[in-house]
Structures are given as C-alpha cells and as structure tokens.
Amino acid sequence: MARSNVSTHLDHLAQVPLFSACSKKELATIAKATDEVHLEDGAVLTTQDNRSSEAFVVVSGTVEVKRNGRKIADLGPGAMIGELGLLDRGPRTATVTAKGPVDVLVIGPREFAGLLDDVPTLNHKLLRSLASMVRELDAKTYG
C-alpha cells in the first residue's frame, strides 16, 4: 500500500458525512492516516456478516453494495464504506464489490484511534455527524 497523496484526497474526505464538519487541517491529518489502494474489477472490499475494522473512502470508480444478496446501491467518489467497523468492530452490514477499477483510501482501527487522540475536536464532530445520520435514518424509517 502506498501512503496517500494528502492534497489530492482532501476533497474526497470532505464529501464523507463523517468528516464533513472537519477543517482543512483536520482533513489533512485524516488523509495522512490513510493508505491509498488500487482495486481491480470484482475485488471485494467487505463481506456481509464478516468482522473487520477498516473503512474505505472511494476516490475513483464505483462499488456495488449488496445486502442479503440483493443490490441496494452503487457508490462512487466520496462514499465511505465500513465506518461502523471503525467504531464498533461489529459484523459488516453488506458486501461491497468493485465495479471496474477502483481507488480507495483505507483507514485502519489503529490509525483511526490515533486520529481521535491527535485531533480532539474530531470526537465532537464525529458525534454530531453520527447524530445527524441517526436522525436522517429515523426520519426515513418512521417519517
């Protein structure tokens, strides 16, 4: 894995809801904690029900998301996959596969924990972002 080019990935990280409230300086710190990986068509990023704790940010290309064998989405640049694994290391909620060549930023649990220590304000921003996501899901589910 090659260390990511920090300046070229700030825009992608800023599109991620979990990081959208972060400053450019904080985004640069996050970018430094990632590895850039190139995946070929058909590469599996996550497998539903498997435990894994890294997350991915799509830089280029498209990934397909399936839950219980049924396609639920195609995601492109700026999408984050596996963020729940960073937070609770629980089982994956979907299988995600590359549709054609895909470049992703990978962040592991150790790097994520380091970010929470190095960027104290990130904790509050992450909590606000997660609360917003929960409210959005609640509204979609219950109206």
Are the CB atoms for 108 and 66 separated by under 8 Å?
Answer: no
Tell me the residue type at 105. L
**Alpha-carbon gap, residue 137 to 96, rounded angstroms:** 20
Taking only the tens place, the pLDDT of each residue in 21-56 is: 788 888 888 888 999 999 999 999 999 999 888 999
Over range 11-23, report the average pLDDT: 81
What structural domains and CATH numbers belong to the chain?
Answer: 2-110+128-138 (2.60.120.10)
Taking only the tens place, the pLDDT of each residue in 89-118 is: 889 999 999 999 999 999 999 998 898 888
Q: Is 97 helix (H, G, I), strand (E, B) or coil?
A: strand
Give the pLDDT of residue 83.
Answer: 82
Burial class (CB in 10 A: 0-12, 13-18, 19+), 81: buried
Give the pLDDT of residue 17.
Answer: 77
Provide the pLDDT confidence category of residue 132 given band limits of 50, 70 and 90. confident
Provide the pLDDT confidence category of residue 138 given band limits of 50, 70 and 90. confident
Are the CB atoms for 80 and 20 separated by under 8 Å?
Answer: no
Give the pLDDT of residue 1.
Answer: 41
Total-model pTM: 0.82
